[in-house]
Amino acid sequence: MKKGEAELHFFLCHDKKLCENSCCYIKVSDIECLYTDLSALEIISLKGKLEDKPRGIKEFSIRDNNGNLLKFAADHSH
């Protein structure tokens, strides 16, 4: 998966329980744009809506087709 200069590489894991019980936390600068872009893709299922979190963070999460949880976050100031 690539957006701008950022790339994420995914690898197949045959242990579904491991995938479903771990996550990756990714800090981004323009979270509203990323949320809009990912929402438009039918291959990615949104797990959590974009929302304000404690400590001045905006966050949303997706779960990929293998069950991996990816959390995206940005400071409110961005």
Do residues 53 and 73 touch, judged by C-beta distance below 8 A?
yes
Mean pLDDT, the chain, rounded, equals 81
User: b/e map of 35-62 (b: 16 or more CB within 10 Å)?
Assistant: beebeeeeebeeeeebeeeeeeebbbbb
Q: 23-50, pLDDT tens digit by residue?
A: 888 998 889 998 888 888 765 566 678 8
CATH number at 15-75:
3.30.720.110
Radius of gyration (Cα) for the chain, nearest Å?
13
Say whether pLDDT at 78 is over 50: no
Residue boundaries of the structural domains of the chain: 15-75
Task: Give mean pLDDT, residues 9-18.
Answer: 79
